[in-house]
Structures are given as structure tokens and as C-alpha cells.
Structure 1
Amino acid sequence: MSDTPTPPHDPDPQERAELTADLAGLLHDLRTPLSAMRTAVELIDLDPTTQRQASAIRTLEMAIDALLAMTQDLLDPDGLPSPRANTPETAADAISAVTDLFAADARTRGLRLDCEIAADLEGYGIADPLSLRRILSVLLDNALKYTGEGRITVTARATHGGARPSLEVDVADTGIGIPEAERNDLFRPRKRGERASASASGSGLGLWSAARLAASIGGRLALVESSAMGTTFTVRLPLVAPAPDPARAVAGGANIRVLPRRRVLVVDDNETNRRMIEAMLGAFGVDAVLADGGRDALARLGKEAVNAVLLDINMPDMSGLETLAAIRALPGEAAALPVIGITAAIIPNHRKLEDAGFHAILDKPVSPAVLFAALDRAMTDCRKAGSTGD
């Protein structure tokens, strides 16, 4: 027998398609536990917290949102942004958020992590905050891995030399540096220098993917300088018109309060999702009746009176659309119940679902404020319709 290692197998088109499908399935399935985590964090935030706890909650929310956005971006790179991605965010907010995510790790390593953001950036938005977050995450992760002592500094500013303003962010460290002979391979996949390989494990894909991502949105990632004293990378990305005032957007949000005593049927085949929704309803003073699928929901509606139904769209055995049709065919008042659909689909067809008879469609992860507003509106509309019909 030969001791020559077998060369890596290059998958054929069918195998590649199967691998792609498996990855898509995994990414889609990840949205369920991530959504549950996001909801749990928001429920914790409804109760009084210390300043330290509130800061930890913000960090968790940002980390979960970043993961959710990445799953959507990878599953549908050309699709519409997620609802959370539409939240007004300045370039300064995005940079601060990423730096905050790495602050705890820096402290445990005995490193100082500073973030210096020019005041004029507060007035600008970033066209693709998710891409900025991913690029900065790569740079900060590398800086932490290859810096044994000293500090890491993130410096951000707006430049106005071109046709439109640009964002420039420097990430500087006091780490091991990059030998000149290895710099030509910095942005190539699976390429790692001897000094880097000896210092920390890695795949050699981070800088390559970050550089490709920057180029894809009209920007550039470059090595500015490197020596035995440390390394500095700069990412340059286009800025957009002044961002909306986040405080104004928050002011227009739902005013969560205790609803009049109501009972809501929660239909979802995932127990974690049911329990998360039940916990949110409890915070509103609403009782939850739980059903693990369409048939269970119909059975419960035959025995118990409820004021509204929260119905998962994608369920095995009996889908949300099939369950809705069956509810509308029930005798008596149950047929007219407000039914709110909940979906984890990457690009849900809201118009089609609403035309099918749903009162509203909510995207997972459902925040307490969004759920409250939808329920309040649905039950108010139902009461008005009932009054009109008398």
C-alpha cells in the first residue's frame, strides 16, 4: 500500500448542489434557536436591570442580530434586508457596536481596546451596516489573536475627497506584525504566514473574505503598515446621506402596557417558540392557550374561547395556510377570530399571506413591542367590526 495521501476530492455538480442545500437547511434551522434567544433577551430587558446587566443585554442583542442577519444574507444575498436591518443606524453606531462585542474578550486577555470616532460620523449612515460589522469583526478578531500585550485602537472618520463622503476605519494593534515577504498573500484564501500560524490557530479565510466583502460594496480593505511594533489595517466604505434620528424612530414605537384580560391561542410545532410567545403574552397580562400544530389548534378552538390566534406559517403535517382555511370554515364566532401569522421565511410574501385571510404577518424573531402592537391592533379592529355589525 502507498503512503501517499489521497488528494482532496473536488465535488461534482450534484454533490455541490447537495452540499449547498444542506448548508441552506442548516442556516434556516439556525434561525429558530437564534430567534428564541433574541426573544428571551428582550423579555429579560422588560424587567428592571442594573447598568452592567443592561450593557450585557445590549451586547447579546447585537450579537444575535448580527448572526440572524448573516443567516439571511447567506441564504439570500440578493434579497430584501431583514426588518431589524432597517433599524436606523449611524456609521458610528455600527462601529461602536462591533467594538463593544470584543471589549470583554480584550479585557480577559489583559489588552486595552479603544474606539475613537470623529464627531462628524454621527450624522452619516452606512449603506450596508452588516458588511461593515463583518469586516470589523474579522479585523478585531485577528488583532486580538496576534496581540500578546498592549492595545488595540479603532479610529473612524469621514473623508470628503471624492464624489461623495467615505468612511475610513483604522484598526491598529501592538501585535506580532507581518513580515514583508508574506504581505502579498494577505488577502488570498487559505494563506497564513509562519509567524501567524505559530501564534494562533486560524483558517486563513478571514482577511480574504473581508477584502472581498469590502470590494463588493464599493470599498477597499488594505494593509497600511506593519512592523515589530504592530499592524494597522484600513477599511474604506461609502457613506450615505445623514442617518435618521434613532431617538425619533424609537419614540414612534409601540407603547407596551397591560392589555385587557384576553386569551390567545399560540400555534407552533416548536415548543421553544411556543414558550417564548407565552412568556411575552404573560408580560402583557394575556393568557396563552398552546397548540403544537393545526389539528391541535382546531381541537382547542372547539373547546375553548379565545380572542385571537398566533399561527406559525411553516408547520409539518398541516401548514399555517391550511390551518387558517380550517379556522375560517368553523361554525360560529371562531371563524371570525383575528389570526396573526408568524414566519421565519427569508423573504415572506406578506401580500399573499394577508390576502389569504391573516390579519397581519410578523417576521421571526418577533420582538415584544411588535407582537404587542399587532395584537392590540387586531383585537381593536375585531371589536370595531363587531360593533359595526350590531
Structure 2
Amino acid sequence: MSNTPTPPHDPRQQEGTELNPDLAGLLHDLRTPLSAMRTALELIDLDPTTSRQASAIRTLEMAIDALLAMTQDFLDPDGLPSPRASAHDTAVEAISAVTDLFAADARARGLRLDCDIAGDLEAYGIGDPLTLRRILSVLIDNALKYTGEGRIAVTARATHGGARPALEVEVCDTGIGIPQAERGNLFRPRKRGERASATTAGSGLGLWSAARLAASAGGRLDLVETSAMGTTFALRLPLVAPAPDPERADADASNIRALPRRRVLVVDDNETNRRMLEAMLGAFGVDAVLADGGRDALERLATEAVNAVLLDINMPDMDGMETLSAIRALKGTPANLPVIGITAAILPNHRKLEDAGFQAILDKPVAPAVLFAALDRAMAEANAAGSARE
């Protein structure tokens, strides 16, 4: 196999146009129902499921994560992808999950889809498993499209030639190959070869998007070899060592228990988000008081005692910062009342928000285990502070 990588085109130099404001608004609004769907799946996953149901949940989570990441990429094209995946997702798990996702399609086409993962990868984590999944999905999907017979082989290993270990994944197919004259356009947006266009439909954005994601994650995507016998792409991404311990992560999730009977004020202008948080709090044995905005929250606090507040940062009329300031100034409200901010912002300024007085900042979609840990810690700290002043 020859090793003559083709440097991917930098898509950030391709177009300087700004995103249409209406489209930007639509993409931002899509994050709310997608976040609700992601959280609903995590709530379902707290209950016993069959292996088939658990597999379906993982597939849905992957699909929702990809959609969430796509909205982020359009809204913040120069930012880093958000690693919204399970806390213990390793490179091995991500590669296996994507390969399994395409296994049925490969069988339906009469193709073999083989996956060979070196044992040394088990010792490493991946900094951005969602980006790995998205790039690998593009590569396998393309291989299936352009391979009429034979096989697709996915191989993965850890390499140690640089300053830090790296993941190297190769996707090799026995497809139609790429003519020499068309290879220079492989990683450019909306560029498709004549042979590819005649074989199957496509937008010409897959490899461009994959190369862009790889570069933004500190890696690269290369064309290694192509001929009439098939094509091989190589993906390289930085690894993280040591890998998170799945058993420890599962143990953390199992620590969700019934909290001492408490009342928590949920402030969010979106009813779906309010109901989702109410359902999670109910699973913890916590009563929820619901408010649809800052002014409603202040009215509730004037008449009802609560032990903590979950406060959406981005709301019309009164945003989270304004509401927090008003809560702190409200007569009769305990000075140590925990207020936890919740945000769907693409790049939230956690330091600024924490300096404003939030005990913690949680990113949407909020995982039940993350919400439980934040509430448990915030209320325990508030109780300790109250006892110290007595």
C-alpha cells in the first residue's frame, strides 16, 4: 500500500458568507426539542430494558447527538465540536457502535463489513467521541455507496510516533475507486466525481464535512490509496490516556437515589423543558415548582419556600442573569439558596456565569446523573453554610 496522503482542503478558506439569520434562528430553536428527546431517552434508560431496547436507545442517542452537533457546526463554524456523548465513551466503543450501526445496511447490500480494533486501544480514551463517530459514519456510508461487491474493512490502532498517542483508523473498500483527475477536489464542498455521480446520489458535502471535523479536533483525514480495486481513507485523531473507567462511570450513574424531601423551583420559558426537569426531579423524590419565566419565578419565591432553583439562562423578557440578580435581592430569600444555571448556548461562558452567583452551570441536554450530582452537591453546601452561621 502506498502512503501518499492528500492534504485536506481547509473549508474555512472556502466561503466567507454569514449564515442567514432566519436559518440561524431555526437551528438554534431545534436544539430545544432535540435536547428534550435526548433527556427523555436517558430517563427511559434509567429503567430496566432488554438488550434489544438498550441497543435501540444507543442508536437514537447517536442520531440525536449528531443532529445537535450539526446545529452547533452551522451556528459556530469556527468553534470546536461539542463532545456530547456518554461520559465513558472510548475510541473502541465509538468505533464499534458506528460499525454496528451500518452492519444491517451492509448485509442488505450483500457486502461484508469487518472491524478489526487493536487491543492497545483499550488503554486510551478519545477526547471527542462524537466527532469520531460522525467522521467514521461518513467514511463507512461512502464505502457502502460506492462498493458493488466485496467488503469494507475498518481497522483501528494506537500510534506513538508524535508528541502524544494518536488514533489511526483506516476504512478500506473494494469499490469503484477515484480517478486521478478528481482526487484534488475530494475534500472540497459540493464536488462530486462523474463516476460517483453516475453510481449514487449525493450532496458532495460528506468528505468536506469530515475533513473539517478532523482538522477542528486536532487531527486529519487523508486519502491513502485508490484504484479500480478500491479506496482507503485514513483518519488520525489525538487520544487521551488513560481511558475513563466504564465501571466507575456506571457506578456514578447508579448513585442516583432518593434525595431528602426537597422542593426545587424550575424556571424555563419552554414547557417541554420544564416538564422534562420535573420528571427527572420526580425520579429523585424531589417536588418541582414550575415557573415559565423570571417574573413568574419571583412571584413563586415570594409565597413558596424552595431548597434550590434550576434557572434557564436564555429567556425572553428577563434572562437568567437578570432573574438571578432579582432572586438575590428578594426579601426573605435565603442568601445561600442554591441557584443552578441551565443553558443551551453553543459556547457558554461558564466562568462569567459562576462569577455572577450560579452554584453550577449545566449544559442542555442535561443528563439525569449530572443533574442529580449538581443538586446533591449544591444543597449539601447550602446546608453546611447555613449550619456554620448558626
Q: TM-score, normalised by structure 2?
A: 0.83
Sort the Cα spacing of 1:335 and 1:158 in 2 relative to 1 into closer, same or farther, 3 A: closer
Change (3 A) 1:336 1:210: closer
Partner of residue 307, structure 1? 307
Q: Find out whether 1:157 has 2:157 as its counterpart.
A: yes
Q: Where does residue 137 of structure 2 map in the other structure?
A: 137
Aligned residue number for residue 7 of structure 2: none
The whole-number CA distance in structure 2 between the counterparts of 1:164 and 1:334 is 49
User: For residues 308-387 of structure 1, what are the structure 2 equivalents within 5 Å?
Assistant: 308-333=308-333, 336-387=336-387
- Residues 102-181 of structure 1 correspond to what in structure 2 (within 5 A)? 102-107=102-107, 109=109, 111-126=111-126, 129-159=129-159, 166-179=166-179
Shift in alpha-carbon separation, 1:268–1:105, aligned structure 2, 3 A: farther
Offset at residue 188 of structure 1 (A):
4.0
SS for the counterpart of 1:373 is helix
The one of the two structures with greater contact order (alpha-carbon pairs below 8 A, sep at least 6) is 2
1:250 aligned partner: 249
- Which residue is equivalent to 2:65? 65
Question: In 2, distance between residues paired with 1:180 and 1:313?
Answer: 52
CA contact (8 A) 2:339 2:358 kept: yes
Preserved contact between residue 170 and residue 232 of structure 1 (Cα < 8 Å)? no
Give, in angstroms, the shift of residue 118 of structure 1: 1.3
Alignment partner of 1:309: what SS? strand
Distance 1:81 1:175 in 2: 31
Does 378-387 or 312-321 show the bigger shift? 378-387
Instruction: Report the 3-state secondary structure (helix = DSSP H, G, I; strand = E; otherwise coil) of the residue aligned with 1:388.
Output: helix
How far apart are 1:39 and its partner, in Å? Answer: 0.4
Structure label with greater radius of gyration: 1
User: What is aligned with 2:223?
Assistant: 222
Give, as a single letter, the amino acid of the residue that structure 1 aligns with 2:236: L
Q: Please state whether the residue corresponding to 1:327 is helix, strand or coil.
A: helix
Task: Report % sequence identity.
Answer: 77
Structure 1: how far apart are the matches of 2:350 and 2:240?
Answer: 29
Moved more, 347-356 or 19-28: 19-28
Give the aligned length: 373
Question: How far apart in 2 are the matches of 1:167 and 1:381?
Answer: 41
Deviation, 1:290, is: 1.4
> Counterparts of 2:76 and 2:183 in 1: how far apart (Å)?
33
In structure 2, the residue matched to 1:3 is none
Please give the per-residue CA displacement for 1:306-355, whole angstroms capped at 9, x wherever unaligned: 22211111100111122222222223246653221111122322233223
Give the 5 Å matches for 1:13-92.
16-17=17-18, 19=19, 21-76=21-76, 79=79, 82=82, 84=84, 87=87, 89-92=89-92
Residues 111-146 of structure 1, C-alpha deviations (whole Å, 9 max, x = no match): 443211111222234455444333222111112223
Contact 2:265 2:290 (8 Å CA) reproduced: yes
Per-residue Cα deviation, 1:244-276 (whole angstroms, up to 9, x for no partner): 333365167351001122221111001111111
- 236-245 or 269-278: which moved more? 236-245
2:204 maps to which residue?
204
Inter-partner Cα distance in structure 1 for 2:182 and 2:294: 60
| Counterparts of residues 231-310 of structure 1 (less than 5 Å) | 231-240=230-239, 242-247=241-246, 250=249, 253=252, 255-310=255-310
Structure 1 unaligned residues grouped into runs of 5+: 1-14
User: Are the equivalent residues in 1 in contact too, given 2:175–2:231 (CA < 8 A)?
Assistant: no
2:365 counterpart SS class: coil
Alpha carbons of structure 1 residues 295 and 207: separation in structure 2 relative to 1, 3 Å: same
Does the aligned pair in 2 maintain the 1:125–1:242 contact within 8 Å?
yes
Amino acid paired to 1:315:
M
Cα distance in 1 between the residues matched to 2:93 and 2:279 = 30
Deviation at 1:368, TM superposition (A): 0.4
Say whether the 8 Å CA contact 2:127–2:240 is kept in structure 1. Answer: no
Contact 1:314/1:343 (CA < 8 Å) preserved in 2? yes
The AA in structure 2 aligned to 1:256 is I
Moved more, 312-321 or 233-242: 233-242
2:386 aligned counterpart, secondary structure: helix
